[in-house]
């Protein structure tokens, strides 16, 4: 319980300080409208006393008209103030949530690849949508509740004390007793809400996997299995949502019972006073009216804790993303060389993905400006890891990765990545047009350049046959294209960037023999004057490389040109012979 309290205060304070404070002016306007709403509500029971004691006894039509006009004015003011308050608070609440979403997304995009590799996209998506949505409801309800209902309750209590301080004390002696169990209910609410959000995140993750793997599901006939697995998760969410509603509703019978006791006590005592002429009927009706009107805001305030706990449970998960540190830190004095040659050097580099997963051990080599360096070896040998260290997707544990004589850790990160074009075996296309995918990330280009690189990447011909040509939307991750077509668009994108350093991580892995031949010719032209580091399983693609490094378990075990390595008759020669035999067969 103590931990819950300590967590609640910093989170609530943080939400106010970091996200509500920029909207002080708008919030002041909302408070003004809330105060008007509260004042017009409190005016209604206040006006009841003269209606019963003066208007009805004096039978004065003018007095009746005056009080009717006053009551109408109170209702009109209340309606207009409620409208202003609702619109203003909706704007504030939505602005806060939009700010949080922008902040979360901006921070996520700044985090390094390791963060995303350790977390499931479904969980991140759930936090970004479900949790933020829950925060939206909580922020709106909580701020409005604290403002409008508190003001209304205070003014109605003032009316009650003005009419009879003893009856007012009698009424509000009973209500505080209800708040102790309500506070305990709020604590339970936060725990149940957190668990529900965790299960919703798991379900979102499950759905993401189903949609991404639908082809495999269809191929292996596991539709029923996935449906049953989802059914189990849906049942868990159902039970937690029902439990949430049950916990939230526990406060209702407590408040209703206490409210009944308070009203009965007031009626009994006040009625006895009226019957014995120690109080006028108008005073008693005015007091009862204020008490009944105070009952609703009091009830809403009692539910406020449950709303707050729901929002704080969601905020806890959202701020966990915002507070996630990035391991790729910008240098204090970043260097931005103007003249880029593209020389890449590895100096005794060690890297691990975890304490038990050593990826690179003492890697040292140099790729001079304009050279083509090839990395070959079995899967898991460390080839792609070497490529990932150049644009600082990860940082080395020991040693240095140097570009043009400057450690990549000392480069201004945007400037460093401007110099690098990457074509990966993991093809990333966006739900945009073919033209937009080719020009993605490229700020300066001519339209004709796009067509030229598409032709060079052997993509122009199939693009022209698409329904809208270059304006065709490729679908999520290029789902409407074949693997080879997606790869050719990725190669065209890298060509358009015209970066001095070219990283090819299995760049032709998804291409057929004919397409690969065209791509190899295009890449040969592209490599002229550029430093190329190429990862390949197919050794036929690295024959013309200036230097070939053979990796095994994170170490370089051989290096040389294609012919030199064949003459050595070691690992590379065995790999070449094995691939040649598989092609012959």
What are 2-36's pLDDT values in tens digits? 344 434 447 667 777 777 778 888 888 888 888 88
310 confidence band (pLDDT: 50, 70, 90): confident
Which residue, among 236, 240, 213, 241, has the nearest Cα to 225 in the 3D structure?
213
Helix (H) or strand (E) holding 531: strand 531-535
What are 341-364's pLDDT values in tens digits? 889 999 999 998 877 778 899 999
Position 240 pLDDT exceeds 70: yes
DSSP string, 158-170: HHHHHH-HHHHHH
Least confident of 99-103, 161-165, 432-436: 161-165
Q: How many Cα atoms sit within 13 Å of 561 on the Cβ side?
A: 5
Q: Which CATH number fits domain 24-322: 3.40.50.720, 1.20.1560.10, 1.10.10.10, 3.90.170.10?
A: 1.20.1560.10
What is the mean pLDDT of the segment spanning 253-268? 63
Helix (H) or strand (E) holding 310: helix 281-322
Residues of the chain with CATH 3.40.50.300: 344-584
What is the mean pLDDT of the segment spanning 168-193? 64
DSSP string, 155-220: HHHHHHHHH-HHHHHHHHHHTHHHHHHHHHHHHHHHHHHHHHHHHHHHHHHHHHHHHHTHHHHHHH
Q: Distance between CA atoms of 549 and 555, rounded to whole angstroms?
A: 10
Instruction: Give the dihedral sign, CA 215/218/219/221.
Output: positive
Per-range mean pLDDT, top range of 20-24, 140-144, 366-370: 366-370
Position 234 pLDDT exceeds 50: yes
324 confidence band (pLDDT: 50, 70, 90): confident
Mean pLDDT score across all residues of the chain: 79
Between 371 and 71, the more confident residue is 371
Residues of the chain with CATH 1.20.1560.10: 24-322
Beta strands in 355-500 (DSSP E): 357-367, 372-377, 398-403, 406-407, 420-423
Percentage of residues of the chain with pLDDT beyond 70: 81
> Does the domain spanning 344-584 belong to CATH 3.40.50.300?
yes
The contacts of residue 584 (CB under 8 Å, 6+ apart) are: none
Position 376 pLDDT exceeds 50: yes
What are 67-104's pLDDT values in tens digits? 778 878 888 888 888 888 888 887 887 788 888 888 88
**Is 0.75 topped by the overall pTM?**
no
Position 203 pLDDT exceeds 50: yes
Residue 365 has a pLDDT of 92
């Amino acid at each position: 319980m103590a931990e819950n309290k300590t967590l609640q205060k910093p989170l609530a304070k943080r939400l106010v300080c970091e996200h509500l404070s920029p909207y002080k002016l708008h919030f002041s306007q909302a408070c003004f409208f809330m105060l008007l709403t509260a004042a017009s509500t409190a005016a209604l029971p206040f006006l009841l006393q003269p209606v019963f004691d003066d208007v009805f006894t004096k039978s004065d039509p003018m007095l009746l008209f005056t009080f009717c006009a006053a009551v109408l004015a109170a209702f009109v003011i209340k309606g207009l103030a409620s409208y202003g308050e609702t619109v203003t608070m909706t704007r504030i609440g939505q602005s806060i949530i939009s700010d949080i979403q922008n902040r979360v997304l901006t921070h996520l995009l700044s985090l390094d690849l390791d963060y995303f590799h350790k977390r499931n996209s479904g969980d991140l998506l759930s936090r970004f949508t479900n949790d933020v949505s829950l925060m939206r409801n909580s922020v709106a309800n909580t701020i409005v509740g604290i403002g409008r209902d508190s003001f209304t309750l205070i003014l109605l209590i003032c009316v009650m004390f003005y009419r009879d301080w003893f009856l007012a004390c009698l009424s509000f002696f009973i209500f505080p007793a209800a708040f102790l169990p309500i506070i305990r209910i709020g604590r339970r609410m936060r725990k149940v809400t957190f668990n529900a959000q965790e299960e919703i995140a798991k379900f979102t993750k499950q759905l993401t996997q189903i949609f991404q793997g639908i082809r495999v599901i269809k191929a292996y006939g596991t539709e029923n299995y996935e449906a049953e697995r989802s059914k189990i998760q849906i049942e868990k969410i159902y039970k937690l949502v029902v439990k949430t509603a049950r916990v939230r509703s526990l406060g209702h019978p407590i408040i209703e019972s206490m409210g009944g006791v308070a009203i009965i006590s007031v009626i009994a005592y006040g009625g006895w006073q009226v019957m014995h002429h120690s109080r006028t009927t108008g005073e008693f009706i005015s007091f009862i009216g204020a008490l009944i009107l105070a009952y609703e805001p009091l009830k809403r305030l009692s539910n406020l804790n449950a709303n707050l706990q729901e929002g704080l449970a969601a905020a806890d998960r959202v701020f966990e993303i915002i507070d996630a540190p990035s391991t790729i830190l910008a240098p204090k004095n970043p260097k931005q060389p103007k003249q880029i040659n593209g020389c890449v050097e590895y100096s005794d580099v060690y890297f691990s993905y975890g304490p038990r997963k050593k990826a690179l051990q003492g890697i040292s080599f140099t790729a001079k400006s304009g050279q083509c360096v090839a990395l070959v070896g079995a899967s898991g040998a460390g080839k792609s890891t070497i490529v990932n260290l150049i644009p600082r997707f990860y940082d080395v544990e020991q040693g240095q990765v140097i570009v043009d004589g400057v450690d990549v850790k000392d480069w201004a990160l945007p400037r460093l990545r401007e110099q690098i074009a990457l074509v990966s075996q993991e093809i990333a296309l966006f739900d945009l047009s073919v033209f937009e995918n080719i020009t993605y990330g490229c700020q300066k280009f001519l339209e004709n350049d796009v067509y030229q690189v598409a032709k060079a990447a052997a993509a122009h011909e199939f693009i022209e046959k698409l329904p809208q040509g270059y304006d065709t939307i490729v679908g999520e991750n290029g789902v409407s294209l074949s693997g080879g077509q997606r790869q050719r668009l990725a190669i065209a994108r890298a060509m358009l960037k015209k970066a001095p350093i070219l990283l090819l991580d299995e760049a032709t892995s998804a291409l057929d023999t004919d397409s690969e031949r065209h791509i190899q010719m295009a890449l040969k032209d592209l490599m002229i004057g550029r430093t190329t580091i190429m990862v390949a399983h197919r050794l036929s693609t690295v024959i013309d490389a200036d230097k070939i490094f053979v990796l095994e378990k994170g170490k370089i075990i051989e290096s040389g040109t294609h012919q030199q390595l064949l003459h050595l008759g070691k690992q590379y020669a065995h790999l070449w012979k094995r691939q040649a035999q598989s092609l012959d067969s």
